[in-house]
Structure 1
Amino acid sequence: MTIMSSTARCLGLVILLLGLTTPAAATPTAPELGHAGRWLTDELGRVVTLHGVNLVYKYPPYFPAAGGFGENDAQFLAENGFNAVRLGFAWNAVEPQPGVYDDNYIAQIKQTQQLLARYNIYSLIDSHQDAFNESVGASWSGFPYWATVTDGFPLQPDPGFPLVYFTSPAQNQTWANFWRDHAAPDGVGLQEHYAAMWAHVAQSFADEPYVLGYDLINEPWPGWEYPTCFPQGCPQFESGVLAPFEAKVMNAIRRVDPKHLLFYEPSVTNDFGTPNWMPNPTGDPNAGMSFHDYCVGPIDTCVSNGLARADLEGVVGLVTEFGATKDSAKLTRLADTFDDNMASWLFWSQPQNQTPGHPQEPPTGPNLMDPAIVRPYPHAIAGTPLQWHYDSATGTFTIRYSARRADSGEPFPREARTEVYLPQSNYPDGYQVEIQGANVVSVPDARLLQLTTNPGQDTVQVTVTRR
């Protein structure tokens, strides 16, 4: 057992050495993230965990910089330990007319991705919508007007997003026509337009560093079939309708980008805890499932359902939305649940809501996060995680991991490093570390605690406590 006491005297040096507040002079070249089963992995085979936020700007012109997101905000996220962003774009803005693409708009999204990359933050490029289009009751037009086919069904009753899903004939008929691949004004199917649009977008990001992958569609709604999805989920819709649609998108992207992870989504009804039946649409080995956690009730089934389904399909499971509240106690409980499941996650802040009672606020640093979700976590593990836990009351963080690779079961080289992020806000006077099976190789009180496994050790146990 090794015990190391530490203070805050070296904090300034550590920040400089680790580059947590100062970006590199040029955009870094980052190896792509892959996966070993449910685990994200880096080029060394280490298991990577992501803590991040959503960044979706829902007002014209639909890109974050127009809402004020800039250098200071990227730095703010990095300083609070966030290493991932779900970066949303609007199909409506990419393809304002059928077959006509706005490359200037895509360039704006790309500039934000490149800014985040300079702070070592991965971007999950996300095609975002909420209730399709304003003409059918959405709070913003994520999808185009020309793709919104109502067949004359009335909008009313329209209580606003998200209840409009359950009440509006126009809303549900629009989705029904989308799932039927109704022809756009130029005679090409809506789904073919969507897949081609995605290929056009992905082509711009295919060679960019710090791209996590592509989130194919945010919260797809079943349309008129939604009553069949409660309480047992949507097995027929997800396997028979949604999966073939997302397969078109995956195949289109793969023609321009063979390497990045493709994150497909199940029906939005899964957000509330119904069983998840979503298959890997193409069987692509480099895929993941993006799912959300807005479960209600005393038992959170969203995380277990999502991760269990991802594990069954042999893909990465990633919580790409949760929160939408300022209730610190609830956020702490959710973060604890994710830790218990060793899950990566991306937070949805309440200021990003755009509902009848809450217009979206500027997408700037403090509006994108909540102090309740800033906590220790393993950036990268030279091994396979077995358990980690953070007690926010005492500031005690524990982690236990196997020293063997998640992909092969083989041991890591002796110099391979495990990296644990320890926020200054959680350890204002420094911390001490108690270790079994490894040695500390970072400087005292580093925000990124670095460890190397001792020779012959199969398991490492680490406990971090406040000074």
Structure 2
Amino acid sequence: MKSVRRPVVALATTVILVALQAFLDPTGLLALVGWSGALPALDRGLWPLAPYVVFVPVLLVTVWWAALRAGDRYWTLVAGVVLAVVLAQAVTCLAMTGDLANSAWAAGYVTAKAVPAALLVAAITRLFGGRTEKTRTTPGAVIAPALLFAATAPLLAGQWWTAVVYAPGVPVARPDRGIVSTLVAVVLLAAITAVCLRWMRARVSGVLGGWLAALVGAAAVGLVQAVVALIVEGMPSTDLWPLMSAYVAVADGVSFGACLGWVAGVGAIAADRLAERGMRRVPLLAAAVVTVAALVVTVVTAVAPARGTDSAASVPDGFLRAEGGVITDGDGDQILLRGANVNQLVDFYAPNPDVPVTTPLTEDDFAQMAAQGFNVARLGISWSALEPVRGEIDEDYLAQIVAAVEWGGEHGVRTVLDMHQDSWWNEGTPESEACRAGTAPMWGYDGAPGWATITDSAPRCQFEGRDISPASDRAFQNFYFDTDGVQSALVETWARLGAEFADEPAVAGFDLLNEPGFGETAPVTTSLQLGRFYDRAITAIREAGAPQIVFIEPSILWSGLGFDTGPAVGFTDDDNIVFAPHLYAESITMDRALGITPIVGMERQFALAQRAADAYGYPLWSGEYGYWGEQPDREARLTRYAALEDEYRIGGAYWVWKQACGDPQNGVQPIGDGLIIQDCEEDGWVGPNQGILDILSRAYPRSAPGELTSLAADGASIALEGGSPSRSCGLDVWVPGSDEPAVVSEGLSDVEVSAVDGGWTISGCADGAYALTAGASTP
């Protein structure tokens, strides 16, 4: 009979570790079970209590089982504790959301917490758990359970292996990635799991032995995938992406093994029992049947027609729309939207009441933007100002938004309405509040009204920046779970805005929520729950009659890390969507704040963003970028950024047009740090940041017949190529400067050069392939 001393030690160690982490980690980011300081919420269903009433019991029961059956050896117990943590997270997420596929996949992201905890628990158990008996037995069945486990992967792929880390060429067991990729991944998973089964089953008996073998095998496949990705994407020299890529791949493997490894465990026991009865071929036959089923699913998926789009048919003339991978005008022309963010209507926190947080927004702002060649403004608006009282739209504030849209339209500048927020709402740490060790008092920023801010008394304190605050994390968590209907309220507000601008083609689209926070249970919140909100808001906007593009963002993690999971593909049936991450690589990302090598370099972030957009089937647009430190650094990095923006033939909005001296993001200083620089000491304007504007105002095609195939520009020089399946006269190329550009074209007719405020436009018609160069020299 097994001694209970080891499981008792393992259990006690786990309990102490959970308690210490909850006490020492004020953010919950590193703790197995975090406690933000929020008061218990007993009236909201299971989700607020799930980390305590679901995670902890599942964790402790599984740790006991692992220590009892796998505790004789250090490494087998390590695997057992990892299994316990990941399995507990999966069950907890399932209890919170009711979504099995997302919960199982999301559990893998606690691997970074699970492994250190497992190493510690196993070490202490080894030291104080008493004598061990390292016996070995015959491994038993290996091939059949390994094949059975591997064949379940394409059948139950769910959300596994969908992240941007899986570059083309990396084998993944997803039918939608093609027959070759799926087959290679299944064979790889079966082979590695078979090796692990032979080793593990000789040391750990019963179902647990097969389960742990599957866990380790799937994690090892993740490492192989990471190596393949490194080969496919090239050896990096400027960023830490291979490490992050490896972590995500291993995390997927760990969660897959934790959630479905019981298939290998049960299969191995069943195979042994059948072998004892002389029925050795039955397990292999069963595994073969499952494998054939997996291959059939893969083939059917591979030959199924691609998801179509009906965007063009449903959007009225004059409105922009998303068609396939580009933004178009509905007349056969690709549109590039390039401009700046405008924050002059944002309801910011005022660090110093005597220093204004915004500058007035006037028609002249749009005239100046047009003179720079900009054709879009991402206009930040604040829910707190729009709906200060629940259910009541502030008509004066709405009138300011309407005026801004009209001014933009008069100057050829379309507007993207951006529901802006930073750290959820615009209140800072109360003077009476004491922050826990490891956090610090913070300013407020902007976003939701007070009535939609439910923090459950979690402290308004920050850890390494505004976006890691227990209060804002809890507020986001309550938003995602629609506590007191706050999410429903924002959905209704979007419906009101949709109705207001349904007939306004000057509105390019609606950006539903700026840099959504991760709450307390990412990536469930940043994928499943965020996608649910987006789907509800999109539906409400369409029901209100608004046909414009909807711009969807991944969470703040994309800005902070350089990539993110984002809502799952298929989160909405609507096709008039643009994927709009914020491409801040090498800027305000976490790595730069810590002074380490970039996690994701600028060039790689563009590739990852395009990969994600392609997976959705949406066009890519950069909703924010900039903030690269001192002026020489800004210009050097922006030059690289501009070249990449042209290479990928996309648009975006620079942060920011004007920034007041009291803007909390500006830090309260004598200079307003925007494209148009304010001198607060002299109460005037220094003028434009010409070095930056020279790069942003470079030549580009605002509209191009058909679709662009190449683009490069430098100042007033531009070279582009494209193709139009039918005759279109939609060419509109902006060229800055006072000198009329010399134009050389091929495949274009009726080419004209016209003077406009700030520069020139080149128009023309195309039918088929075309090319154009303009300016002093070819870029």
TM over 0.5: yes
Aligned to 2:605: 302
Give the aligned length: 405
Aligned to 2:489: 193
Once structures 1 and 2 are overlaid, which stretch shifts more, 69-78 or 84-93?
A: 69-78
Matched, 1:380 2:703: yes
Q: What TM-score results when the alignment is normalised by the length of structure 2?
A: 0.49
Q: 1:138 to 1:304 in 2, by over 3 A?
A: farther
Q: 1:98 to 1:215 in 2, by over 3 A?
A: same
Deviations 1:212-270 (A, max 9, x none): 011000000112235xxxxxxx4x43332110011111111111124111112111111
Aligned to 1:452: 765
Aligned to 1:49: 336
Code of the aligned partner of 1:172:
D
Aligned to 1:3: none
Q: Distance in 2 between matches of 1:402 and 1:152?
A: 58
Q: Distance in 1 between matches of 2:333 and 2:657?
A: 33
Code of the aligned partner of 1:67:
T
On the 8 A contact 1:59/1:140 being kept in 2, the answer is no
- Summarize the alignment of residues 18-417 of structure 1 with structure 2, pairs less than 5 Å apart: 31-57=318-344, 60=347, 67-135=359-427, 137=442, 139-157=444-462, 163-166=465-468, 168-183=469-484, 189-226=485-522, 234=523, 236-271=524-559, 272-278=561-567, 279=569, 281-296=571-586, 297=598, 298-325=601-628, 326=631, 327-349=634-656, 351-352=658-659, 354-355=664-665, 357-358=667-668, 361=672, 370-371=692-693, 372-392=695-715, 395-404=716-725, 411-412=726-727, 416-417=729-730
Code of the aligned partner of 1:339:
D
User: What is the Cα deviation at residue 277 of structure 1?
Assistant: 3.8
Q: 1:218 to 1:391 in 2, by over 3 A?
A: same
Q: 1:334 to 1:243 in 2, by over 3 A?
A: same
Q: Distance in 1 between matches of 2:410 and 2:345?
A: 25
On the 8 A contact 1:323/1:348 being kept in 2, the answer is yes
Deviations 1:94-144 (A, max 9, x none): 111222221221111111111111011110111000001133545433211
Q: Distance in 2 between matches of 1:121 and 1:55?
A: 12
Whose strand fraction is larger, Structure 1's or Structure 2's? Answer: 1
User: What is the Cα deviation at residue 319 of structure 1?
Assistant: 0.7
On the 8 A contact 1:57/1:363 being kept in 2, the answer is no
User: What is the Cα deviation at residue 299 of structure 1?
Assistant: 4.1
On the 8 A contact 2:348/2:357 being kept in 1, the answer is no
Q: Percent identity?
A: 26
User: What is the Cα deviation at residue 342 of structure 1?
Assistant: 0.4
Q: 1:256 to 1:417 in 2, by over 3 A?
A: closer
SS at match of 2:318: coil
Q: 1:221 to 1:66 in 2, by over 3 A?
A: closer
SS at match of 1:291: coil
SS at match of 1:124: strand
Structure 1, gaps ≥5 residues long: 1-28, 184-188, 227-233, 405-410
Q: Distance in 2 between matches of 1:131 and 1:293?
A: 19
SS at match of 1:243: helix
On the 8 A contact 1:440/1:449 being kept in 2, the answer is no
Structure 2, gaps ≥5 residues long: 1-315, 350-355, 429-441, 587-597, 679-687
Q: 1:381 to 1:141 in 2, by over 3 A?
A: closer
Q: 1:340 to 1:312 in 2, by over 3 A?
A: same
Q: What TM-score results when the alignment is normalised by the length of structure 1?
A: 0.79
On the 8 A contact 1:292/1:302 being kept in 2, the answer is no
Deviations 1:407-463 (A, max 9, x none): xxxx225xx242211111xxx43322222222452147771111223x6xx321222
Whose helix fraction is larger, Structure 1's or Structure 2's? Answer: 2
User: What is the Cα deviation at residue 285 of structure 1?
Assistant: 1.7
User: What is the Cα deviation at residue 362 of structure 1?
Assistant: 9.3
Q: 1:305 to 1:157 in 2, by over 3 A?
A: closer
Deviations 1:335-394 (A, max 9, x none): 1111110011111128536326356949896679741211111111112110000135xx
Aligned to 1:431: 741
On the 8 A contact 1:430/1:466 being kept in 2, the answer is no
Q: 1:119 to 1:396 in 2, by over 3 A?
A: closer
SS at match of 2:516: coil
Q: Distance in 2 between matches of 1:429 and 1:258?
A: 42
Deviations 1:322-347 (A, max 9, x none): 01344222212111111110011111
| Greater RCO (CA < 8 Å, at least 6 residues apart) | 1
On the 8 A contact 1:293/1:319 being kept in 2, the answer is yes
Code of the aligned partner of 2:581:
F
Q: Distance in 2 between matches of 1:444 and 1:83?
A: 17
Q: Distance in 2 between matches of 1:464 and 1:175?
A: 49
Deviations 1:276-323 (A, max 9, x none): 443353220212222111112344333222222222222222111001
Of structures 1 and 2, the larger Rg is shown by 2
